[in-house]
Chain A
Amino acid sequence: MSATQAIQSSNDFVIKFANVNGSGSASANELFARAIMRMGVPVAPRNIFPSNIQGMPTWYEMRVSGAGWLGRRGGCDLMVAMNPQTWDRDIAEIEPGGYLFYDSTKSLPRSRFREDITVLGIPLTEICNREYSDPRQRQLFKNIMYVGALTALLGMDFAVVEKLIADQYRGKDKLIGANVNALKLGYDHAQANLSCPIGLRVERSNGVGDQIFINGNDACGLGAVYGGATVAAWYPITPSTSVIESFGNYCRKYRTDPDNGMARYAIVQAEDELASIGMVIGAAWNGSRAFTATSGPGISLMQEFFGLAYFAEVPVVVFDVQRGGPSTGMPTRTQQSDLISCAYASHGDTKHVLLFPEDPYECFTLGAQAFDLAERLQTPVFVMLDLDIGMNDRLSRPFEWDDQRRYDRGKVMSAEQLDAGKTFGRYLDVDGDGIPWRTIPGTHPTKGAFFSRGTTRNAYAKYSEAGTDYIYNMERLRHKLETAKKLVPAPVVQRASQPSRFGAIYYGSTSPAMAEAFALLEAQGVHVDIMRVRGFPFADEVIEFIDEHDHVFVVEQNESGQLRMLLINEGEVDPKRLIRVLHYDGTPITAAFISGRIADALAKHKVTPIRKQVAS
């Protein structure tokens, strides 16, 4: 190594694993991330994977952050280069002074390395070929072996990883011994042949606390179980597929009748997204809580049905795990680019309720709440997460549930109410909130039946082309969406340490990067109030927050500034006051990007930091 100093860092670095898709590396990498967390050190791992089953390159990026920053940092301090296909770009990505771990079975010319990094080679293939005869075992144990070697290199506690393996394979004791053996082979070889630990170290800490480690899609599936969903219809699409798989798994666990083994739920894999949303609408119309999970292309296909659900006022829930668009776009990369196509989905004048969870905790809570909101408002509700939250395991607050809570089924008229002579007009605003009463099919032999349709109708659900009936209905729907502003989750504000004329608005998966950017800016003496929007239509506080500031940065992960468009349109905000901060290359946004853009923009606005950084 040349004059460049090797990076020295405890509990604050990025490791990136370069692997081949389908090689079994994912579970080994996850095991390693969990081991670090078992030592009390927060880790934010992210899978960067191709739209492919086997053979293409895949990366697992792991940010170790004792401070608990869970956003993507960018850069790479230690590259675990296990994929010859991507060797050159992987080597190039390592930070100066960083580390390279590789399989040194086959010697490589000096020109394939860099002078300014520390190279750590272990002949993994050679050891595997010596120890194992089965080709699949050779592959899988090679992965465990590098986990063992890294355990030594980062100065970690071997016993922690050993125990984790034991926990993971509980009941399959044969696998425990074999895995621990592979782990030890790697660990011992590193201890014997490399100087352990290197400059990057994991030291025991208490930064994890009672947090849980789960991905957003699993949390959505669980939220749907707790939210009382009984019908799910879906069509496979990356990155939303595992929402339904998770719902199915949790249903099998929690919704199987203990007496007869029968299912208190129904999941149907439809022939396409049109059919899946159609089934959800049918089930919801018939009084079940029902949902689908999809991504951008599915949202496009469902447009006509969203209009029907909006106009016929059917309470459906849609989990949209957003990916890069337009068209097929970047199926395995993250974006927040479906806001417009969901907020105003379908032809004619429509507006829909959107929720923006920031992490798995909110995927669960907002996922469950979405069913209450949909039934209260009798309209579609979209839970807008994205691939970054959906498919990556994330440290998250533990889930909570209040056993006193009862589902809000909204205004459903019962047979008793009908018999008592309560007026029933399916589209009649009797309560002044724009929300009419509905009946569930089969409720009463002679009262309360109505004919749902996508055509115009009067307040009693009779077909009508009269302009007055149409306007009554449209104004009531608009009023209903006004009511929604008070029911969607309120925004969350964090004030700068000093009063500021500048604000920033963000939502969803941008949250951890924004929190870190806020801290970075504060440290630089740049003060910006920040607001996390959690629902659409916007609560009044959102527009008030903009009004309070001269300029507001709108931080988003799409190309056109879709939340900004909504703010301008819905809040009648002067567009000049909303400054775009847009990141949309498919990778998750970083704190460095956000703070850099905001600092640059403020410099243009001639804002001098109140407290200048001390020159080093």
Chain B
Amino acid sequence: MTYLAKPKLLRADAPKNTLGYTRRDYEGAISTLCAGCGHDSISAAVVQACFDLDIEPHKVAKLSGIGCSSKTPDYFLGASHGFNTTHGRMPSVLTGAALANRDLIYMGVSGDGDSASIGIGQFAHAMRRGVNMTYIVENNGVYGLTKGQFSATADKGSKSKRGVVNNDTPIDLVALALQLGASYVARSFSGDKEQLIPLIKGALRHRGPAFIDVVSPCVTFNNHAGSTKSYDYVREHNDAVNRLDVILPRDQINTSYAPGELRRIVQHDGSILHLRKLDTDYDPSDRVGAMNHLQERHALGEIVTGLLYVDSSAEELHRHLNTVEKPLNQLGDAYLCPGSKALEALNAALR
């Protein structure tokens, strides 16, 4: 239960990052999700990614909506401020928070019900607006807290635990994000942390809207035969286009690659995305190509994963609004209030 304090046991030899923090410093309260829930693996991946990137925990703001996935921000980054908002409305609250302080890292955590059903409008508009954020959808195709109803990402023809067949066309949030202007779009699987952790790291270092759809099986309601979001199904149909390594400016690059095997993308902050190609024809800078590839593979029942699209030169909302460099929430009275002289002049103009 989350109101039980997590034991403060710490190994003396626990590795520290360059800030002197251990992984433990990036953890949160004890999860209340079911044992084996994919979401807990994603929380662990977030912890690892932040630890690896030397992020100061208090420089992250984590926001979520409502649902199993939206509970998880309580279970990582306990030293960060978090906001568990209303169902499907996290994107707007995150947008407002990002407007107030451009210096923090914003992490939005949502689910398939939260983002593809009730919150599809806010999901879409946050992407189009270019909000600087990492937006993770923990996608299991069902509503867990209300006991197993289909969500809008459930595949047509997939079966619920009780044998009901879903007849509705699924919404692919990755396809939507691509179309709506997200500048970093990835899909991963909660059962593949080797793939997931670098994708989160790349997103956290990206400027602009970064979206990661993480297929995250629901062990209680959607992990049976006939489900297309079960551990077994995803493992069998996972079609990764590339493998990512995130190289920070401080890192030494030791690995060597055969020509044509690697794609190197430098992000705005100097971090480097090393993409090892698994599908030699796949070009992650081609938005239209990415959309086509996704559709083709989906028609074959495959789940395309990896870093599907990235535009490292993308701009974000603050640039569009031309806001001052100093966070708006730190501007003092003198910068905000025009004072009595200006008001007298205005009065005169209104007579």
Using a CB–CB cutoff of 8 Å, the interface residues on chain A facing chain B are 210-214, 222, 225-226, 228, 230-231, 233, 254-255, 257, 260-268, 270-272, 274-288, 290, 304-305, 308, 312, 398-403, 406-407, 439-446, 449-455, 458, 462-464
Cβ of A278 and Cβ of B122 under 8 Å apart? Answer: yes
* Closest B residue by C-beta to A409: B333
* Closest B residue by C-beta to A275: B92
B255 at the interface (CB under 8 A from A): no
Q: Which residues of A contact B58 (CB under 8 A)?
A: 441-446, 449
Cβ of B2 and Cβ of A463 under 8 Å apart? Answer: yes
* Closest A residue by C-beta to B342: A254
Closest 9 CB pairs of A and B: A282-B96, A278-B92, A279-B96, A288-B100, A441-B81, A287-B329, A282-B93, A283-B96, A286-B100
A-B contacts, 7 listed (Cβ < 8 Å)? A230-B331, A271-B124, A275-B92, A275-B121, A279-B93, A441-B61, A449-B57
Cβ of A264 and Cβ of B335 under 8 Å apart? Answer: yes
Closest CB of chain B to A104's CB: distance in Å?
36
B window 318-348: CB within 8 A of A? 318, 321-325, 328-331, 333, 335-340, 342-343, 346-347
B179 at the interface (CB under 8 A from A): no
Cβ of A268 and Cβ of B129 under 8 Å apart? Answer: yes
Cβ of A452 and Cβ of B83 under 8 Å apart? Answer: yes
* Closest B residue by C-beta to A469: B3
Q: Which residues of B contact A443 (CB under 8 A)?
A: 58
Closest CB of chain A to B338's CB: distance in Å?
4
Binds A, one of B72-80, B151-159, B160-168, B216-224: B72-80
Main secondary structure, interface of B, reads: helix
B95 at the interface (CB under 8 A from A): yes
The CA of A242 and the CA of B46, in the complex, are separated in Å by: 43
Given A403-B339, A449-B58: A464 and B121 interface contact (C-beta under 8 Å): no
Using a CB–CB cutoff of 8 Å, the interface residues on chain B facing chain A are 2-3, 29, 56-59, 61, 63, 73-74, 78-86, 89, 91-101, 103-104, 121-122, 124-125, 129, 317-318, 321-325, 328-331, 333, 335-340, 342-343, 346-347, 350-351
The CA of A214 and the CA of B350, in the complex, are separated in Å by: 7
The CA of A394 and the CA of B339, in the complex, are separated in Å by: 23
Closest CB of chain A to B341's CB: distance in Å?
8
Closest CB of chain B to A121's CB: distance in Å?
35
Q: Which residues of A contact B336 (CB under 8 A)?
A: 225, 228, 230, 255, 264, 407
* Closest A residue by C-beta to B121: A271
Interchain Cβ contacts within 8 Å, total number: 228
Q: Which residues of A contact B338 (CB under 8 A)?
A: 225-226, 254-255
Cβ of A452 and Cβ of B339 under 8 Å apart? Answer: no
The CA of A304 and the CA of B101, in the complex, are separated in Å by: 25
Closest CB of chain A to B316's CB: distance in Å?
12
Q: Which residues of B contact A308 (CB under 8 A)?
A: 85-86
> Which of A276, A279, A285, A287 has the most CB atoms of chain B within a 10 A radius of its CB?
A279
Q: Which residues of B contact A285 (CB under 8 A)?
A: 83, 93, 96-97
Cβ of B83 and Cβ of A453 under 8 Å apart? Answer: yes
Cβ of A453 and Cβ of B84 under 8 Å apart? Answer: yes
Given A275-B122, A286-B96, A398-B347: A266 and B328 interface contact (C-beta under 8 Å): yes
Given A278-B89, A442-B104: A290 and B83 interface contact (C-beta under 8 Å): no
The CA of A403 and the CA of B317, in the complex, are separated in Å by: 33
* Closest A residue by C-beta to B325: A262
Given A275-B125, A282-B95, A401-B343: A262 and B79 interface contact (C-beta under 8 Å): no
Cβ of B323 and Cβ of A262 under 8 Å apart? Answer: yes
Cβ of B86 and Cβ of A268 under 8 Å apart? Answer: no
Closest CB of chain B to A470's CB: distance in Å?
13
> Which of A255, A267, A275 has the most CB atoms of chain B within a 10 A radius of its CB?
A275
Contact of A279 among B99, B101, B329 (CB under 8 A): B99
Cβ of B328 and Cβ of A230 under 8 Å apart? Answer: yes
> Which of B85, B92, B317, B318 has the most CB atoms of chain A within a 10 A radius of its CB?
B92
Q: Which residues of A contact B342 (CB under 8 A)?
A: 254
Beyond contacts A231-B99, A275-B92, A452-B83: 13 other A-B pairs, Cβ-Cβ < 8 A, are A266-B318, A275-B122, A282-B95, A287-B100, A308-B86, A439-B81, A441-B97, A441-B104, A442-B61, A442-B81, A450-B81, A452-B82, A462-B3
Q: Which residues of B contact A228 (CB under 8 A)?
A: 333, 336-337
Q: Which residues of B contact A254 (CB under 8 A)?
A: 338, 342
Cβ of B333 and Cβ of A407 under 8 Å apart? Answer: yes
Cβ of A445 and Cβ of B328 under 8 Å apart? Answer: no
* Closest B residue by C-beta to A267: B321
Given A278-B89, A442-B103, A451-B74: A263 and B321 interface contact (C-beta under 8 Å): yes
Closest CB of chain B to A541's CB: distance in Å?
30
Cβ of A290 and Cβ of B101 under 8 Å apart? Answer: no
The CA of A92 and the CA of B95, in the complex, are separated in Å by: 54
> Which of A266, A271, A281, A464 has the most CB atoms of chain B within a 10 A radius of its CB?
A266
Cβ of A262 and Cβ of B324 under 8 Å apart? Answer: yes
> Which of A254, A444, A446 has the most CB atoms of chain B within a 10 A radius of its CB?
A254
The CA of A441 and the CA of B73, in the complex, are separated in Å by: 15
